[in-house]
Amino acid sequence: MSEIILHGYWRSSAVYRVRIALNLKHLDYQQIGHDLRTGEQNTPAYKAIAPAGLVPAVEHAGQVYVQSLAIIEWLEERWPNAPLLPGAIEQRAIVRAMATTIAADIHPLNNLRILKYLKKDFEREQEQIDSWVAHWIGEGFAALEVLIDRHGDGYAFGEFPTMADCFLVPQVYNAERFGIDLTPFPKLTAAAEKARAHPAFAAAHPDLQPGAETA
């Protein structure tokens, strides 16, 4: 198998998702870091790999794949063992909906470039930015709480980790970094804690990645 190269940033939740998926599928990969705080993702060298200047990007066998959801779908189709989606079509749609709630409804409104834009171009105070983050995470988590209550059985969906957990755990990590109260979401937090105890999730934690700063 050709080497898998994962371009990312140690604290990026989108990259965190892909690491979890790679670990669940027992795939070896090399990581190359790009510090988002200093703008390394905007260098011509990196934009030649990922034109939007976003992480993650994955290189494999001469191809480049971008966007975490698309990358994880590709991993699922390319290496179907240790599946991240359940067998039934209806169940797969539910798991994809859970993942997309995070990928489309929560994370884009709270990622670093949006928060920088709010602060610099709209001159928002940090208190206002923190309120913005808490609002959109709370809205999305409220919806996920209902879905996990309906379909979870230990993990976010069913008894085994799925794509939904690959997205949930990093988003909970983000929520905790922002100091958001998660007590209104007991089913969601319980599912995240169970997933975190899985070796594939534990090994993907940002603090264990190359370049991580634990202070």
Specify the pLDDT at position 80.
97
CATH of the domain at 44: 3.40.30.10
| Res 184: pLDDT | 98
**Is 209 among the domain residues?**
no
Query: What per-residue confidence (pLDDT) applies to 32?
Result: 97
Of 11, 64, 21, 35, nearest in space to 178 by CA: 11
Q: Is residue 182 part of a domain?
A: yes
pLDDT at 115 over 90: no
Report yes or no on 115 lying in a domain: yes
* pLDDT of the residue at 101: 97
pLDDT at 4: 98
Give the residue-averaged pLDDT of 192-214. Answer: 95
Give the pLDDT score at 1. Answer: 56
pLDDT at 214 (0 to 100): 64
- Does 208 map to a domain? no
* CATH number for the domain that contains residue 128: 1.20.1050.10
Question: Tens digits of per-residue pLDDT, 56-103?
Answer: 999 999 999 999 999 999 999 999 999 999 999 999 999 999 999 999
From the number of C-beta atoms within 10 Å of its C-beta (0-12, 13-18, 19+), residue 136 rates as middle
| Judgement on whether residues 107 and 195 belong to the same structural domain of the protein | yes
Same domain (yes/no): 148, 125: yes
In a domain, 117, yes or no: yes
DSSP-derived 3-state class of residue 5: strand
Q: What percent of the chain has pLDDT over 70?
A: 98
Torsion of Cα atoms, 28 then 7 then 130 then 165, to 10°: -30
For residue 8, give the 3-state DSSP assignment: strand
- Same-domain check for residues 168 and 94: yes
Predicted pLDDT of residue 128: 85
Residue 71 domain-assigned (yes or no): yes
Q: Which structure tokens are listed for 173?
A: 């990590």
* Neighbouring residues of 186: CB distance < 8 A, sequence distance ≥ 6: 145
Q: In which domain, by residue range, is 21 found?
A: 5-82
Helix residue ranges, H only, 57-108: 68-78, 89-100
CB 137, CB 129: distance < 8 Å = no
Tally Cβ neighbours within 10 Å of residue 25.
18
Residue 104's pLDDT is: 93
**203 or 127, which is more confident:** 203
Residue where a domain terminates, one of 82, 109, 131: 82
* Tokens linked to 191: 């599912």
- 98 close to 147: Cβ distance less than 8 angstroms: yes
CA 151 to chain centre: 20
Residue with tokens 């069913």: 158
Query: What's the angle, vertex CA 104, arms to CA 103 and CA 110, rounded to 5?
Result: 80
Q: Does the pLDDT value for residue 117 go beyond 90? A: no
Report, as an integer, the average pLDDT of 113-125: 80
Residue 121 reports pLDDT greater than 90: no
Confidence of residue 175 (pLDDT cuts 50, 70, 90): very high
Mean pLDDT of the chain: 94
Quick one: which H or E segment has residue 117? helix 112-120
Do 191 and 100 lie in a common domain? yes
210 upstream amide cis, omega within 30 of 0: no
Tell me which residue of 55, 18, 8 sits closest to 170, measured CA to CA.
Answer: 18
Count how many domains the chain has.
Answer: 2
How far apart (Å, rounded) are the C-alpha atoms in residues 151 and 154?
10
Instruction: State pLDDT tens for residues 1-53.
Output: 579 999 999 999 999 999 999 999 999 999 999 998 899 999 999 999 999 99
